[in-house]
Amino acid sequence: MKKRKLLSVVLLLMAAFNYAASQDLKLNDREYFEMQGVNVLVYSNLFTGGFNDEKNAGIELIHHGVRTAQGGAVRLSHTPEQWDLIPEILNRKVDRASKTIEATLRYKDYNFDSRVVVTAKGKGVEIAVYLDKPLPKAMEGSAGFNLEFLPSQYWNKAYLMDGRPNRFPRYVVGNTITKPNSLKPKQYKGYVTADDRGTGKYIDPLPLETGRTLLMAPDEPERLVKITSQNADLMLFDGRMLAQNGWFVVRSLLPAGKTGKVLTWTIEPNAIKGWEREPNIGFSQVGYLPSQPKVAVIELDKKDKPLAKSSIYKVGNDGKATKVFTGNIKSWGDYYKYHYVKFDFSSVKTPGIYYIQYGDIKTNNFLIDNSVYNKITDATSDIWIPIHMNHMFVNEAYRVWHGEPFKEGYRQAPPNTDHFDLHAQGPTTDTKYKALELIPGLNVGGFFDAGDFDIETGSNISVVQNFVRTWESFKPMRDQTFIDQKQRYVDLHRPDGKPDVLQFIEHGILNLVAQAEIIGHMSQTLSNAVLDNYHHLGDAASLTDGLPYNPKLGPYEVAPDGRSSGVKDDLWAFTSREPELDLRAATMFAAASRALKGYNDDLSARALTQSKRLLKEATALLANQAQDTSGRGNAANMSTNLQLYIATGEKQYVDRFQQLLWPALERNVSGNLLTALDAIPHLDASYKEKLRPYVVKYKEYIGGLEKDNPYGVPIGLTNWAGSGDVMNFGTTISFASKYFPEIIEDSHAFKAANYLFGCHPYHNYSLVATVGATRPKAVFYGNNRADFSFIPGNVAPGILFRKPDHFENYDDWPFLWGQNEGTIGGNTSYLIFGSAFKNLVK
């Protein structure tokens, strides 16, 4: 009876499906297929060679405003993991006459090419796979066409395979088998993606269902998709069986021994008749000062006719809302996919609780008060940063965030090792240590990079510099964290009588000075030796067994004295010398030596010694290298000389700083102005006057941003979203308006804060965890991402641009790092921006 009822509902929905699709997919000027409510992208975004499958490439479906499917390509696994082989896209051809987009895919390891041709047909597309040569024997039973669907948009929804009803699971369920590792398709650079624990076998998921016609989400018209296969079975897999970031995969195997058109699918995404994307009303979730500019940016479907006016309502003490302001809507114009209008309500100044009403859309409430920005950095400094302290046991009330990680220390990475996180050990170790030899003394201090547990040296250098800038500029005396280096113990929300920022500087320097003193220069990274450890989630202390590896022991065997084991899980130090990195470290050491003076004099002196040494050695090494055309070496050298001058007062350093500064500003004023501003308190008035024309030039840059996008801030368009650019912009404004208020208006800094706190494309959530009214982001890419949770104070990279015209930030799926991964570098950039901004608004 239940099955009959469900089928009746499906028939009704299918009738609606056919009625709604009165329009057909068209090949638009941006080279993807489009009709209202449906975009089908065909290799607009490609798989990367750095991180392989980032779930951001291939054939993609943007369905009623949300990118719900991606990864469409010939793949070698049922449920590919991140590090599985990906195809190289050799070419992409668009034929408007035939309404087709064609791409050639190659797997070099197998000398195998295929062609994927996508053709618009009515309300859907046909996807066809062509082979000029039969499948290589090694790929038979492995090569197939895959399309992956976002689990968070489908779990708990129904599906039918050949009319058989079922439901997408909220949590991964299903059946698996094990196969010998020798049968697993070749992995990325030889790395096996999961530890087989000595079994010699890997896990292979079995399909949830198999058939020729798949109807996805017939109970949800916005997500309804029909997939039919003419000449091969469709298999539905749950990719989360092998990896928490896996998607639901629809797959058909390619036939053996055949050429020509070997596989044909038809995909019909439902388009709701008359659908228009709901307006996204961007505003600051944190709220507004009574005196500041207050402008909401409203993102509209291009078919949505803008309203003439919008209103502000104030919530009274009795809980009733009263309209207190109505103002005009002003058009800004089109920006990529959507149309933008602005609503200025700056005249609303009375402290209280408010919301915006735009037509039928009512926002959540926000505050107007002089105190709204007082606590914007507290969660980041009190919680997120100390949780990411490496080599420490971190406790919070009844909860242990992690035990003390990596007690066994770090081993020398072998020469000619290509690492899976974009690091590599060159032909030599550049140290006195032999391959896999334990390097003593590195397991101290430092901060986890992000959602993983490595120490990225470059990031940690930036982190300490951010802490020093915060300390020297604002002297924050906040003390909410107990930190004991001898006990290697951290306790949150427990003051210990010492300013937390000074303790953070000390913790970062302990590791970085150890690198300089023990290795002789800065390492690239202290990171995982095996991929199975790299994607570890949970307690960092459980990533390794805490015992040094002993090659004399068998796998997983522990020595009788309990002091070593046969587990190859020790982390490696990648030590190839990079003079530019040494220069950056010299900058940071010089600055940190000042901050630590009087707090930890021994560490201060050691940092200054390493700064001078690294500057001298790195400058000599760079002089012997080919000409640096990037300017990065000069920029690092410029900053180092400034910091050494501030630390020592020696004239040689200030002369070299100024020699490098002015050409750098000519090349790139927006990228170098903040460094120039740092020097003002330490140089004479003539320096400030010489800097003035460049500040005027920066004002012109600000004006250009106002014309570039409706938010008036730098919006990044790469595969890492642009919160960092926005924070750097806000920090630069905060200092420039302090020193040159007659040129740079401090009101521009509010645009950066508004963007971070909700006034941005796609949605209006605050991008800082727990900072915001009722709509801070709820999920982030952190080491607890598998729990669909967050660490308070985390700052998301932000709104990610997907070529050619789509912005997104998932708040129901944490696993895309380019939009959701908080990093130690990014979060300490937020600390300096937040501190500068709070100082500005006082």
Query: CA angle 402-403-408, nearest 5°?
Result: 130
* 793: number of Cβ within 10 Å: 25
Quote the DSSP letter at residue 635.
H
Query: What residue has token string 């920090």?
Result: 731
* Separation of alpha carbons 797 and 820, rounded Å: 6
Distances (CA, A) of 630 to 339, 454, 587, 633, 656: 37, 27, 19, 8, 19
Instruction: Tell me the H-state helices in 722-780.
Output: 723-739, 747-756
Which amino acid, one-letter code, is at 464? V
Residue 812 annotated to the active site: yes
Distances (CA, A) of 637 to 585, 619, 622: 10, 8, 10
Catalytic entry in 132, 655, 708, 812:
812
Distances (CA, A) of 634 to 209, 641, 648, 652, 693: 59, 10, 21, 16, 21
**366 and 354 in contact (C-beta within 8 Å)?**
yes
User: DSSP string covering 68-119, please?
Assistant: EEEEEEEESSSS--TTB---EEEEEEEETTTTEEEEEEEEGGGTEEEEEEEE
**682 and 675 in contact (C-beta within 8 Å)?**
no
Pairing of strands 489-492, 393-396: parallel
Structure tokens at 248: 């639901």
Pick from 189, 119, 115, 719: nearest CA to 423? 189
* Separation of alpha carbons 575 and 524, rounded Å: 6
Catalytic entry in 84, 102, 678, 821:
821
**738 and 842 in contact (C-beta within 8 Å)?**
no
* Separation of alpha carbons 730 and 242, rounded Å: 41
Distances (CA, A) of 194 to 201, 639, 768: 10, 43, 33
* Separation of alpha carbons 296 and 310, rounded Å: 10
Active-site amino acid positions? 812, 821
